[in-house]
Amino acid sequence: MVKWSFASDDWHTTKAENDLRVAGTFSSRMEAKDGSFGFDFEGVYDEVETNKLIAYTLGDGRTVKIKFTDTGNETHIAETFEAETVNSEELQREGWQAILDNFKKYTESL
């Protein structure tokens, strides 16, 4: 996660722990590279189906669901999330999409 979980090049994930199983937890620390701001991102996995589904509840109670669909030579990833109330939904969608784009770049480079 520290290699791809950030929404823009001026941010990074400084640490991450992940226990990908039902009732397992995850946590990561995201920070602006200039040190001006940072936050913890954490939650508990509710559903895990290998190569099909990951669902979790964030520390603030919001839920996220990620579905993986095999389309032959590619995998389609659809992520839905409950938006928080501080930032606009559009800004949040852009951030989550940027993280998925970074994940794609990272996995394709392996």
Does this model's pTM top 0.75?
A: yes
Nearest CA to 15 out of 34, 2, 24, 25 is that of: 2
**CATH architecture of the domain with range 11-109:** 2-Layer Sandwich (3.30)
Query: pLDDT truncated to tens, each residue of the chain (110 aa)?
Result: 999 999 999 999 999 999 999 999 999 999 999 999 999 999 999 999 999 999 999 999 999 999 999 999 899 999 999 999 999 999 999 999 999 999 999 999 99
CA 101 to chain CA centroid, nearest Å = 11
Question: Domain segments of the chain: what residues?
Answer: 11-109
Phi and psi for 33 in degrees, rounded to 5?
Answer: -65, -25
